[in-house]
Structure formats: structure tokens, C-alpha cells
């Protein structure tokens, strides 16, 4: 698959879900999204108003996380947060599925919630990505989650929060790509540290990548003068932010 720099950038959700992120960090990643043409900035809900101010008039999109990272919130709480984030300026919501309930055989409960939240997000004009946290699911449960998201009309299904035991895996994207029945898109997130990994995930079927090092990946993709420094920065960020299993968001 041959991508232009702009096409590659359009797959990247530039992400800062670090627990110690400052306002300056959020402003910095917002500028990165504008400068590089990334798909969106992905941040915590409390940072959305700041991002909306920084990005006003740029056309850049804002994404945020809902029910994060466990998914073990009430449907009412998730719905309230989705609507509050629409009012604050979020164009996209990455909602953590109640995957614990799916593991316990309560698929109907999970399906009801995903359907309700998808309808709400779409009524707000938001894209919804449903996070399934595949590190805790069997292959059969991953396919069950895919069917639930497709039936609900979700825009994306997403592999990971980055806070589990592992993040995106190539075989999980391939599994979903082979079994999806319709237009649902796939997002890989968690532990994407190298350009080779990013491109392999796209080749396997991922339309979006959640990456804390989006700018560095793009610099390496373009092979610009800053690519070497970008690789070093990405390595340092990955070591400081992700740790074992991708803990720290992405």
C-alpha cells in the first residue's frame, strides 16, 4: 500500500492520555495536529475545552475518551459524558465497552449499551469508536464484540486503551478485517512505537492509529531532516509514557 504523507497523517489520532499531562502538553499536541494534518487530537475530557480554544478556526478535530479506561461505568454516566463533550467541542468519542460484562456472558447488556451510546453520539454529530480491550478477550469474544459494534452502527471498533496488558496486535486487526460484514472501520491503539508497526497495521486493515508519537512517526515516514531526532524522542516518550503493556494511554 502506497501512502502519501498526507494520507498517512490522516490515519493518526495524535494522543496524549498521560496521567501527568499538563496544559502545555495539550497545547503542544494540538499544534502538532494542525501542523501535520492528523485525523484528530485525542485527550481526556477535562482537556477538551482547552483544545477547543487552541484549535478554534483551524478545522482540526477533537477526540476524547469515555468510560476510560475500565469501561465499568453506568450507561447513564457514559451518555452524560458523551453529551457534555459534544457541548465542549469534541467531534469524536472513544468509548470503552463494558468488556468485563462481555467476558461474563452478558452480551445482550453490552449490545444494549453500545447501541444506545452510538445513537446518542450520532445524534450529537460525533464519530464513535468503541474500545474493546482485546488483551482481555478471547478470539470468540473479539468477534462477538465486532458483531455488537456493527449491529449498533458504530463508526469504529478499537483494539485497546493502552492501559491493559498489551496494546494493538496485528493479528487482531486482521481477524476483524476478515470477519467484518459492513463498513465499520478499525482503529489500532496502544504500543505503536515504530513506523514499520504502523504501516503493517494499516496494511492489515486499520483506518486509524492511536499514537502518542504521531509527529515522530510522520517525521520518520517523510524521511525529513528531523527523522532521527524524532525516532529518539519517540523512544524516550514510549519508555516514559507506556511502560509494560502500554500503560499510560498509547
Residue 185 is among the residues annotated as catalytic for this protein:
no
Confidence of residue 129 (pLDDT cuts 50, 70, 90): very high
What are the cell numbers at 179?
470477519
CA gap 234, 15 in Å, rounded: 13
Identify the CATH number of the domain in which residue 146 sits: 3.20.20.70
* Residue 84 · residue 55 · CB < 8 Å: no
Residue 129 is among the residues annotated as catalytic for this protein:
no
pTM given for the model: 0.91
Q: Which of 107, 80, 105, 108 lies closest to 95, judged by CA? A: 80
Least confident of 57-71, 83-97, 148-162, 216-230: 216-230
Tally Cβ neighbours within 10 Å of residue 144: 17
Residue 162, pLDDT score? 95
Residue in 78, 94, 129, 193 annotated catalytic = 94
Q: What domain count does the chain have?
A: 1
Least confident of 45-49, 52-56, 92-96, 246-250: 246-250
82 lies in which domain range? 5-246
Residue 25 is among the residues annotated as catalytic for this protein:
no
Residue in 78, 129, 158, 193 annotated catalytic = 158
**What are the tens digits of pLDDT across the range 222-239?**
995 344 444 444 444 433
**What are the tens digits of pLDDT across the range 102-118?**
999 999 999 999 999 99
Phi, psi dihedrals of residue 115, rounded to the nearest 5°: -65, -45
The mean pLDDT of the chain is 91
- DSSP 8-class letter at 178: H
Amino acid at each position: 500500500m502506497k501512502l502519501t504523507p498526507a494520507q498517512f497523517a490522516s490515519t493518526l489520532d495524535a494522543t496524549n492520555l498521560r496521567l501527568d499531562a499538563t496544559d502545555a502538553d495539550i497545547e503542544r499536541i494540538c499544534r502538532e495536529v494542525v501542523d501535520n494534518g492528523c485525523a484528530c487530537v485525542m485527550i481526556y475530557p477535562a482537556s477538551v475545552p482547552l483544545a477547543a480554544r487552541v484549535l478554534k478556526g483551524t478545522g482540526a478535530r477533537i477526540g476524547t475518551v469515555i468510560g476510560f479506561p475500565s469501561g465499568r461505568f453506568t450507561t447513564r454516566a457514559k451518555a452524560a459524558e458523551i453529551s457534555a463533550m459534544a457541548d465542549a467541542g469534541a467531534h469524536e468519542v472513544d468509548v470503552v465497552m463494558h468488556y468485563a460484562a462481555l467476558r461474563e456472558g452478558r452480551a445482550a447488556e453490552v449490545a444494549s449499551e453500545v447501541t444506545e451510546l452510538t445513537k446518542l453520539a450520532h445524534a450529537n454529530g460525533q464519530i464513535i469508536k468503541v474500545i474493546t480491550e482485546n488483551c482481555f478477550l478471547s478470539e470468540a469474544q473479539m468477534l462477538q464484540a465486532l458483531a455488537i459494534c456493527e449491529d449498533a452502527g458504530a463508526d469504529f471498533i478499537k483494539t485497546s486503551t493502552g492501559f491493559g496488558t498489551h496494546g494493538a496486535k496485528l493479528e487482531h486487526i486482521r481477524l476483524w478485517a476478515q470477519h467484518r460484514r459492513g463498513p465499520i472501520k478499525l482503529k489500532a491503539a496502544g504500543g505503536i512505537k515504530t513506523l514499520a508497526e504502523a504501516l503493517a497495521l494499516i496494511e492489515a486493515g486499520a483506518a486509524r492509529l492511536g499514537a502518542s508519537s504521531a509527529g515522530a512517526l510522520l517525521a520518520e515516514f517523510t524521511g525529513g531532516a528531523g527523522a532521527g531526532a524524532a525516532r529518539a524522542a519517540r523512544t524516550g516518550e514510549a519508555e516514559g509514557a507506556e511502560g509494560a503493556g502500554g500503560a499510560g494511554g498509547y
